Amino acid sequence: MTTGEPGQPRTDRSPWNWLLVLPIVLPLLTFLFNSDEPRLLGFPLFYWLQIAFIIVGVTCTTIVYRMTK
């Protein structure tokens, strides 16, 4: 999207950018996962799920980068 063919003004607008909202909002909805059970490898839900959100963040930013390159 930002490749900018000659004559076309460049922009960083793209529908793909909406994907960035997911990893911003998800970790902030603490009321959804503020709980001990179910545990994973001994980690309470509150801890393992937030660590798992790192993967969501990496996936979303990578997709947006690739699709708007």
Partner 1 sequence: MSAHTTELVVFILLFLLVSGMGFVASRWRRPTDLASLNEWGLGGRSFGSWITWFLIGGDLYTAYTFVAVPALVFSSGALGFYALPYTVVVYPLVFLVLARMWSVSHVHGFVTPADFVRARFGSPTLALAIAITGLVATMPYIALQLVGIEAVLKAMGITGHLPIIIAFAILAAYTYQSGLRAPALIAFVKDALIYIVILAAIIYIPAKLGGWDSIFDAAKAKFDATPAPGDGMLLNANNQLQYVTLAFGSALALFLYPHSLTGVLASRSRGVIKRNMSALPAYSLVLGLIALLGFMAIAAGTKPVTTDGKADTNTIVPMLFDQMFPDWFTGVAYAAIGIGALVPAAIMSIAAANLFTRNIYREYINKNATDAQEAGVSKLVSLVVKVGAVLCILLLDPQFSIDLQLIGGVIILQTLPSVALGLYTRWFHKSGLIAGWAAGLAAGMWMLYLIPNPANGKQHFGGSAFALSNLGFDTKMTIYAGFLALAVNLVVAALATVIFRASKVADGADATARGDYFADEGDPQVKDRGLTASH
CA dist 35 and 18 (Å) reads 29
Least gap, CB of 23 to partner 1 (angstroms): 5
By CB neighbour count within 10 A (0-12 exposed, 13-18 middle, 19+ buried), where does 50 fall?
middle
Does residue 34 touch partner 1 according to CB under 8 A? yes
| CB-based contacts of 46, cutoff 8 Å, min separation 6 | 33, 34, 35, 36
- Pick out residues in 43-62 that bind partner 1 (CB under 8 A): 43-44, 46-47, 50-51, 53-54, 56-58, 60-62
> Which residues contact partner 1 by CB under 8 A?
2, 4, 9-12, 17, 20-24, 27-28, 30-31, 34-36, 39, 41-44, 46-47, 50-51, 53-54, 56-58, 60-62, 64-65, 69
